[in-house]
Structure 1
Amino acid sequence: MSSLGLPKDYGYCVLIAADSVLVLIYLGIRVGRARKQFGVEYPKMYDDDKPIFNCFQRAHQNTLEHYPQFLSMMLLGGLQHPRLSAAFGAVWVLSRLFYAHGYYTGDPAKRMRGAWGGIGFLGVIGCAISFGLNLLEYI
């Protein structure tokens, strides 16, 4: 246990959380660059005439749609399973780059190059469920 009462290895979860923020910043920068490249002005989220821009926007938006669930499950599950939660978290974070770069090709089907991130997502959910059951003394 750390001086804060957290598992010593919880730092791995904190580092993956920080890394995930860097990935979100990277994806946001890519959308900003795509706006300039394809001439999509603010406040338009999508442009029917610029489907490739929409792929950049969707890659970022989809990550944001899943991010609160991912982060909360990883940080909660990490309280009992810090290394496992961090490992699953790293899988999810890395997969988002493959997902985005597949989408950036302009062929939305290629976003599935990052589908293996589902393993990380389910893994952090499993760690959080285990933590909850342990708190309730069911396991």
Structure 2
Amino acid sequence: MAVELPADFGFVLIVLVLTFLLNLYLSFAVMAARKKYNVHYPNLYAVESENKEAKMFNCVQRGHQNFLEFLPFYLTFLILGGLKHPKLAAVSGVGYLIGRFFYFKGYSTGVPDNRMKRGGIYYPFFFSLVGYTISLAVSLLAAR
């Protein structure tokens, strides 16, 4: 079975590159936090009994870790949903990334509740990608 990509799928590919760039930014932010808060590899998190700024580092680390935990689902729904609705998926993908950026920035303040103040906007964009993927599934099943 051959898969034919819609001409507008290029927009989805641009969002994939933006996703890579955001992940790179978050990775560099964690590396900078490691240096700033004196958290050495291979430790994933700082221990509060050993580091008075452990919470600050751990919040930065968790902001990036949460991004990575959702990444496989986001990428799957972006790509599959983009096969049927490339422009809508691309717009939703950018909205998701903006929300994830603010989620990370809020989390990085050291107050975990700040992550949802502006970062929570990623949820509707994520679920719209789920919807576009369901739309693709329905259209494929209807074409049988």
SS at match of 1:94: helix
Q: Which residue of 2 aligns with 1:84?
A: 88
**What is the aligned-residue identity percentage?**
40
Q: Which residue of 1 aligns with 2:128?
A: 123
Task: State how far apart, in whole Å, the 2-side matches of 1:18 and 1:72 are.
Answer: 15
Q: Which residue of 2 aligns with 1:35?
A: 34
Deviations 1:94-125 (A, max 9, x none): 11110011011110000002001001100100
Task: State how far apart, in whole Å, the 2-side matches of 1:21 and 1:94 are.
Answer: 13
Q: Which residue of 1 aligns with 2:103?
A: 99
Residues paired across the two proteins, number: 135
- Residue identity opposite 1:47 in structure 2: A
Task: State how far apart, in whole Å, the 2-side matches of 1:55 and 1:80 are.
Answer: 37
Q: Which residue of 2 aligns with 1:135?
A: 140
RMSD between superposed Cα atoms in Å:
1.2
- Residue identity opposite 1:101 in structure 2: K
Task: State how far apart, in whole Å, the 2-side matches of 1:27 and 1:109 are.
Answer: 19
Structure 1: runs of 5 or more not aligned: none
Q: Which residue of 1 aligns with 2:51?
A: none
The alignment's TM-score, normalised by the length of structure 2, stands at 0.91
Task: State how far apart, in whole Å, the 1-side matches of 2:63 and 2:108 are.
Answer: 8
**1:48 offset after TM fit, Å?**
2.5
- Residue identity opposite 1:134 in structure 2: S
SS at match of 1:136: helix
SS at match of 2:5: coil
